[in-house]
Amino acid sequence: MKHNKTNFAGYSFIMPAMVSIFIFTLLPIVYTVYISFTNYNMYHLDDFEIIGFKNYLSVINGSISSVFFPVLGWTAAFATISTAGSYIVGMSLAVLLNNPFMTESKVYRSVLIVPWALPATIAILAWQGLLNEQYGGINNILRALHITDGIPWMTDVFWARTGIILVNIWLGFPYMLNVCLGGLQAISPTYYEAAKIDGASKWYAFKVITFPFVTRLSAPLIISSFASNFNNFGNIYMIMQGGPAREGSQFAGSTDILASTIYKMTTWSNRYELSATLSVFVFTIVGTLTLINMNMSGAFKEAD
């Protein structure tokens, strides 16, 4: 009897969390999947019906495939380059700041963490002004130094994507910097002492000791950062609004990723069935990649 009372008390404590998860997480997922099998859009708001896998076929090899696959490729490239770039910059700075003879390292850490400390919306809007082609700060500096008449950040596809990636790396490297600093603190100095005795160079010690050790410790956070960048709607939409325009596509611009494409399909074109279908694809892709990367890294395997 006492055991049953204990179980009841435990269930009563977790019930609010379970109800919240059911209402705000599971129900929206189930409803999105349901909508993806219907023709629910601005033409069928009251008389929509189940149409099976037609939406999925349209995305894979139908009229929407010309939008889906290019956007998917850019989304994967954007997430990969942003994550890798943030990690490389963060680790490089972490190695420099981890030098015990650098007495002012705390000052540098405080300065370098500013992009992470700033509210994301304010930082993104600031970059929107900096990348402006006519009066933006970056182009004004380039003109003052007589380097170029200005870079077409908003109108050229290459430079628009380059600008988006640079902004995302700038916003993401402080997080990776702190992750790598934590990993460096966990490395025993005896490893470096042994490498020094064996005559190993600093680069060799970094390649054999520092990089593998820190990467293994930070693998779960790198994976989560990749998943976050894969759905990084805010940076894409607030800076470029997905522009410049993509030829032959009303749903996605040249810098739109899947998340912003889904937003435009929903709010601009009222194609709820297609946006729900793309949401299911995004959920499947991100979930699959995350599981594969976790298994390959062995980040969450239990130690004996």
In the block, tokens 């954007």 appear at 78
Burial (Cβ within 10 Å: 0-12, 13-18, ≥19) of residue 263? middle
Query: 151-206 pLDDT, tens per residue?
Result: 999 999 999 999 999 999 999 999 999 999 988 988 888 988 898 888 888 889 89
pLDDT band for 5, please (50, 70, 90 cuts). Answer: low
pLDDT at 299 over 60: no
- Say if CB 124 and CB 235 are below 8 A apart: yes
Only one residue has tokens 């894979």, namely: 60
- C-alpha to C-alpha distances, 300 to 180, 229, 296, nearest whole angstrom: 18, 21, 10
Look up the pTM and report it. Answer: 0.88
* Tokens 């279908």 -> residue: 277
CB atoms within 10 A of CB 246: 21
Most confident of 82-86, 210-214, 229-233: 82-86
Phi then psi dihedrals of residue 268, to 5 deg: -90, -40
Contact between 83 and 233 under an 8 Å Cβ cutoff? The reply is no
Q: In this model, does residue 301 exceed pLDDT 70?
A: no
pLDDT computed for residue 6 by the predictor: 61
Across 24-42, average pLDDT: 93
- What pLDDT digit, counting tens, does each position of 225-283 carry? 888 899 888 888 888 889 898 887 788 999 999 999 999 999 988 999 999 999 999 98
Q: Residue 103 to residues 181, 189, 265: CA-CA distances in angstroms?
A: 16, 19, 53
Q: Is the pLDDT of residue 75 over 90?
A: yes
Rounded CA separation 36/59 (Å)? 11
- Condensed to tens digits (0 to 9), the pLDDT of residues 126-166 reads 999 999 998 899 999 999 998 888 899 999 999 999 999 99
Helix H or strand E segment including 199: none
Evaluated on CA atoms 99, 169, 175, 113, the torsion sign reads: positive
Say what the pLDDT of residue 83 is: 95
Alpha helix locations (H) across the chain? 2-21, 27-36, 54-61, 65-97, 105-112, 114-117, 120-130, 137-144, 157-185, 189-197, 202-205, 211-230, 233-240, 258-267, 272-297
- The Cα 205–Cα 199 span in angstroms is 10
Q: How confident is the model at residue 114 (pLDDT cuts 50, 70, 90)?
A: confident
Helix 157-185 crosses helix 65-97 at what angle (to 10 degrees)? 40
Q: pLDDT category, 82, cuts 50, 70, 90? A: very high
What is residue 20's predicted lDDT score, i.e. its pLDDT?
92
For residue 113, name the pLDDT band (cuts at 50, 70, 90). confident
With 0-12 CB in 10 A as exposed, 13-18 as middle and 19+ as buried, what is 83?
buried
For 122, counting Cβ atoms within 10 Å of its Cβ (0-12 exposed, 13-18 middle, 19+ buried), the class is exposed
pLDDT at 86: 96
If pLDDT is split at 50, 70 and 90, which confidence band does 300 have?
A: low
Return d(Cα 281, Cα 292) in angstroms, integer.
16
Nearest to 217 by CA among 256, 178, 190: 178
| Listed residue (122, 103, 119, 123) closest to 170, CA to CA | 123
d(CA 271, CA 39): 9
Asked if residue 69 has pLDDT above 60, the reply is yes
To 5 degrees, how large is the angle CA 17–CA 23–CA 26?
A: 95
Q: For residue 118, what pLDDT is reported?
A: 85
